[in-house]
Amino acid sequence: MRIPALFAAGLLAAIPALTAAQAQETKEIGHVNTALTNLGLTRSHRVVIERFDDPEVKGVSCYISQARTGGVSGMVGLAEDPARFGLSCSVTGPVQVAPGANRGERGENVYESNTSLFFKETRVVRFLDEERGVVVYMAWSTKLVDGSPYNAVAVVPIR
């Protein structure tokens, strides 16, 4: 009986550390409230816009908008956010792809955001289309068992 309780306590203790690590890599640009919850006594449902930079491609910033669940469960981090998002990336300086950047057909993860307490994340994967001279970013949602068909794509020229 003690082991599951200790395991759960350890997981709950690790969540703020994971969130803090992610917060250093992204910057919240802003949000809009989409629905009032609990008569305004708790955080409302919202769409949040965050910026992140690709560590292997200098001169590119990406912006992702994601739905965030409000209410009591959203405030304490127990809510499951919808797997819906938008993605846009833009050139912010000279684009330079690092020699170590993954060039395979499976791409390379450049962004992750937890969208439920367990087993669901929004991820952005980078692909290089060197034939056309562009970097392609695809956002998608991991979902226990089947994944998710929801996705978004942004393309940035390397030239």
Where is average pLDDT lowest: 13-17, 27-31, 57-61, 141-145? 13-17
Residue 55: name the closest of 18, 100, 93 by CA: 100
Two structure tokens written together for 98 = 């690092």
What sign for the dihedral angle of Cα 92, 67, 31, 28? negative
Q: What is the pLDDT of residue 13?
A: 40
Alpha-carbon span 81 to 114, nearest angstrom? 9
User: At 91, is the secondary structure helix, strand, or coil?
Assistant: strand
Q: What is the pLDDT of residue 136?
A: 97
Residues 15-45 have pLDDT tens digits of 333 333 343 488 989 888 877 766 666 667 7
Two structure tokens written together for 90 = 């833009």
Q: What is the pLDDT of residue 124?
A: 92
Planar angle of CA 113, 114, 119, nearest 5 degrees: 130
Percentage with pLDDT > 90 across the chain: 37
Domain boundaries, the chain: 2-157
Q: What is the pLDDT of residue 44?
A: 72
User: At 35, is the secondary structure helix, strand, or coil?
Assistant: strand
